[in-house]
Amino acid sequence: MDSTRYRPDWLTFRRFAAFTTALTATLIALGVYTAATGSGLACSAQWPLCDNGLLPQTIPSFIEWFHRLVAMVTGFFILGTVGWAWRADTARRTKLAATLSVVLLPLQVSIGAVTVTLNGWLPNGYSPPTQSAHLLVALTIFTALVATTLFAYERHLRRSALVRTRHALLAALTLLPVSALVSRAPGLLSYTPALQATFVLVSLPVFAALVVAVYWAGVAGLTRERLATLPVVGLVFVHLLLGRDLLIYVGSVRLLNVAVLVAAFLGLAVVVWAVYRRDGGTSTPSQGVPSSD
């Protein structure tokens, strides 16, 4: 049976994967907001229930309940992405990247349950290490979905790998100062739960752009530039952890955060300069044949 008969022409696999990736980023930001408001424990330490029932009774429990609802919807979208990837004419790496995102879902759900239900039974259940693990797994799922979307779009792009690398790096370089501005490092804004969520929503595209740049740099044969970008990816990840407000933000931590940001920006600026010095074509024909993705 031809499944294309039951969906509009504009709904392609690559667009579905891109939407799922964006939805996952939104969920991560919502999770940060939920934790920052203290709503993670608002459902009387119950999971998956809230206030002894399915529906919340207070505003904090509603925030936690809504986070769980969005997480469930996002999980179904991730499952849909995996199912579509395996049914459609997609590359093997697309299938594997999508599969990785769904394989990690049970682990992410389990860690989330630990943070709100087992604090009394499991030592350090609701603690910075557990919250860091929760963010790490979420970021891994997000990265797998970024890769899925990247691979799905690859055969539909016309520009050369060099130009794509430049664009990805420039996007990261442009967004990184915005991420720094809304982070806790400069101290210019009150680091409210809403600002923490905003920080994540701005920082995740920086991280995604760097992941994309690493891939396209490899395709373009930019070995040195690719290797130089990898430490920047690590620095941005540390920046995300520090911005997660998991540590007591004393002066030394602020200095560390500032140092990480400066190193990331300078390292990224050097890579952008090196890549823009490279010569290369501005477009290449798509490889392969058209597919349903």
Residue that finishes a domain, picked among 139, 156, 173: 156
**Comparing C-alpha atoms, which of 17, 12, 25, 26 is closest to residue 149?**
17
- Same domain for 114 and 32, yes or no, is yes
- Same domain for 276 and 179, yes or no, is yes
- pLDDT number for residue 46: 65
- pLDDT number for residue 132: 77
List the domain range (segments joined by +) for residue 122. Answer: 10-156
Distances (CA, A) of 222 to 161, 166, 226: 10, 11, 6
- Same domain for 235 and 246, yes or no, is yes
**Comparing C-alpha atoms, which of 129, 264, 132 is closest to residue 185?**
264
Is the confidence at residue 2, as pLDDT, over 60?
no
- Same domain for 115 and 204, yes or no, is no
- Same domain for 22 and 83, yes or no, is yes
Residues with Cβ within 8 Å of residue 293, at least 6 apart in sequence: 12, 13, 14, 85, 88, 89, 90, 94, 152
Model's pTM, two decimal places? Answer: 0.86
**Comparing C-alpha atoms, which of 143, 95, 22 is closest to residue 291?**
95
pLDDT tens across 16-68, in order? 999 999 999 999 999 889 888 877 667 666 666 676 767 777 888 888 888 88
- Same domain for 145 and 178, yes or no, is no
Residue that finishes a domain, picked among 107, 124, 156: 156
